[in-house]
Chains A and B, each alone.
Chain A
Amino acid sequence: MTQLFSPSFRAGARTGFREFLPLSVGLIPWALVTGMSMVSVGFSPLQAMGMNIIVFAGTAQLGTLPLIAAGAPLWLIVVTALALNLRFVIFSAAIAQGFRGLGTGARWFSGHLLTDGVFATCIEKMMQNDDKHWRLGYYLAPSVWSWLLWQTFALTGVLAAGSIPKNWSLEFMATIALMLLLLPMAKMRPMLVAALTGGAAAVVLQGMPLRLGLIVAIFAGIAAGFAAEHWHGRRNSGKAAT
């Protein structure tokens, strides 16, 4: 724990916080919408904040809400959450070197707090700086800040949702949020193919028992994206050769 008070930890924390602060504003609408969406499927404020603190992941929360609301089997909910979170395995692998020399406790804590925004902001300097205390501060300050913002504004959303009439279809906010997460991904061709295949397959297979169609659709999407990447790459290298 002494490392938390070392001057280099604090210097890193200041730098990380300053760099992340303007970006962190983007978390606010997501947290509000997530808070409102959790209430819209019928969670009590305590349940909603419980999920928000335990899970701490907008995509996984918003993505599993329709399944929880529909009474889907537990394993399907968990597999879907895993699929939505697989990107973190890649982020985790990419940023792991930034935690060289640090203990297991700090690594678990940092890992739990890993988010898309902090990853994108911190990855570069996490690789370059040689002071492990500086790196930890640099990573943890924006991470803890994200956590605080996420909890505060989700709670705001939870409390606000209670005073909005039910026939306002607030649950559609979750669908909008998921679409907005999907859009920037779909700008890459193979990713678009993966999304279109996953979406189409989920519609065609919606009659499968236990909503198994969702899992099959996810795998179909991954396979299609992978195939598109190969095909796309081969076509491009063919062009380069001619």
Chain B
Amino acid sequence: MTPAAGLNFDEGFLWLTFLLIGLATTLPRASFIVLGNRVVLPSVVQRALRYAPAAALAAIVVPDIVLVGGSFAPFNPKLAAAAATVAAALLSRNPWLPFIAGMGTLLTLRMGLGW
């Protein structure tokens, strides 16, 4: 039995989702490589596009670490783990350390202290 055997996705929906995410990845990547010189992206658009990944990443991550059950919780294990992750990433160049620090903090707080 797999650890996630309780979760079942609709098989067809899931593969359709993968296919569309794949398109949403390959089309931006191939765009200008395939089009070549036929189209030039205005510099205003180029500059605006630069901010999309940072905005999207933060919009996904921040609610996950500051909300507990839908309400704002400034003190929770995930936020503490996030702080440990950021500290490890800023203080060290080791690519594994942030994962160890973040998961270590989360597991210590949840399992060790029952938070």
Partner-B contacts on A (CB < 8 A): 26, 29, 33, 39-44, 47, 50-51, 54-57, 59-61, 63-64, 66-69, 74, 77-78, 80-93, 95-97, 99-100, 104, 107-108, 110-114, 161-162, 164-169, 172-173, 175-183, 185-186, 190-192, 194-203, 206-207, 214, 217-222, 224-226, 229
Contacts and interface: CB of A to CB of B under 8 A. Distances in A.
Overall SS of chain B's interface: helix
B61 interface: yes
Nearest to A182: B57
A219 B76 CA distance: 28
A84 B54 CA distance: 8
B70 interface: yes
Nearest to A181: B57
Contacts of A89: 28, 31-32, 41, 49
Contacts of B40: 93
7 smallest CB-CB distances across A and B, nearest first, come from A221-B55, A111-B30, A42-B7, A199-B62, A225-B51, A198-B55, A199-B58
A111 B33 contact: yes
Residues of B in contact with A, size category = 35 or more
A68 B16 CA distance: 12
B64 A108 contact: no
Contacts of B115: none
